[in-house]
Amino acid sequence: MSIQNILVILRANEEQLRRLQEAAPEAHVLRQSVKTLTKEQVEQADVIVGNLPVEFLPHTKGLKLLQLNTAGVIAPYTDMAARQPGTVLCCATGAYGPAVSEHMAASLLTLMKKLHLYRDQQFQGLWADQGNVESPRGKQVLVLGMGDIGTHFASLLSDMGAVVTGIRRRPSQPPAGVQRIASMEDLDSLLPQSDIIAMVLPETKDTMNIMNKRRIGLMKPGSYLVNAGRGSAVDQDALVEALESGRLAGAALDVTTPEPLPAEHPLWKQKNALITPHISGNFHLPLTLDLIYEIAANNIRALQGKAEYLSRVDPQSGYRA
């Protein structure tokens, strides 16, 4: 398939743009800021790299490939791809595993080792022992969402001596470091057995409020909740109750609902809550952006029949095909 124009609306350095050019040597590669983007540029593009603002989606009739820079795919993009069978939709699953999983592990260890309490003491000039700490070693870890990020997190926790069970939409063979892959039907029976619940789920109709009040009530006393997927997956009022009562040992949240979390929200006041402003992915780790451009270059080659697509999205489910 011929590619004439590649429009890049994601930040890029010369090396990253060179990778795209090498993938389609005859194409014109244009790097354009979203702030100055025009509908004419979108209409002329064969390939767009980056999350195209929703208001420009009606101008993508001739688009052959939309390469998103996010792992999650929201409805406007899947709706566009469903209406335009000639447009291939790919996400950036595969780019965020190292960054997000390391953030999750660091946040969990901060809570387990009480580093957040010592940090609070530091600003008060207090030298006080906070008592016993915990280790992931020997803990039962349940990972909801065994995609790229979940698999990376499972590997990190397994290397620390934890016993990891993963949950996918359908049971499958477990990857290295994972004892078992279960399905969502097993969730209620696994929650009371798990010391750590890690969530990296996309936002779909099936994942909204999946950790509701009833399921938070099923969690093992003294367990931890880590969420780096979507804030909408957790009933935050029920989580506040569980933290205030001391039934849960801690919660590490990189996502909330809404975002930003209002300053008066009671989650901010929870002693054993660690909240970060949805920054575990993003591009704070330079490797993430490099991996996105590797995926994009591969998919440009795939559009020409020279490779297999990576992270191609099924418009019906919103997941990787």
Helices (H), 69-200: 75-83, 97-112, 115-124, 148-159, 187-190
168 bridge partner residues: 183
Helix (H) or strand (E) holding 199: strand 196-199
The reply to whether 83 belongs to the active site is no
Closest CA to 172 of 147, 191, 195: 147
Closest CA to 195 of 223, 161, 159, 225: 223
Closest CA to 184 of 130, 223, 137, 146: 146
According to the model, what pLDDT value does residue 228 have?
97
Calpha distance 77→263 (Å, rounded): 32
pTM for the whole structure: 0.90
pLDDT tens digits for 150-194? 999 999 999 999 999 999 987 789 999 999 999 999 999 999 999
pLDDT tens digits for 32-48? 999 999 999 999 999 99
Under a CB-based contact definition with an 8 Å cutoff, are residues 14 and 31 in contact?
no
Under a CB-based contact definition with an 8 Å cutoff, are residues 145 and 201 in contact?
yes
**Phi, psi of 312, rounded to the nearest 5 degrees:** -70, 140
Structure tokens at 92: 């950036």
Q: Which of 31, 103, 116, 230 is catalytic?
A: 230
Under a CB-based contact definition with an 8 Å cutoff, are residues 46 and 66 in contact?
no
According to the model, what pLDDT value does residue 316 have?
77
According to the model, what pLDDT value does residue 216 have?
98
Give residue limits of the domains in the chain: 5-95+285-303, 97-275
CATH number of 97-275: 3.40.50.720
Answer whether 5-95+285-303 and 97-275 agree in fold: yes
Q: Which of 168, 278, 301, 312 is catalytic?
A: 278
Residues of the chain with pLDDT under 50: none
> Angle at the Cα of 282 (from 213 to 260), degrees rounded to 5?
45
According to the model, what pLDDT value does residue 161 have?
98
Calpha distance 8→1 (Å, rounded): 19
181 bridge partner residues: 166
Q: Which of 11, 137, 259, 284 is catalytic?
A: 259
Average pLDDT, the chain: 96
> Angle at the Cα of 63 (from 62 to 66), degrees rounded to 5?
170
Q: Is the peptide bond before 202 cis (omega within 30 degrees of 0)?
A: no
- CATH class as words, domain 5-95+285-303: alpha beta
Closest CA to 144 of 135, 136, 153: 153
320 bridge partner residues: 313
**SS3 at position 106:** helix
Cβ neighbours of residue 110 closer than 8 Å, sequence gap 6 or more: 116, 252, 274
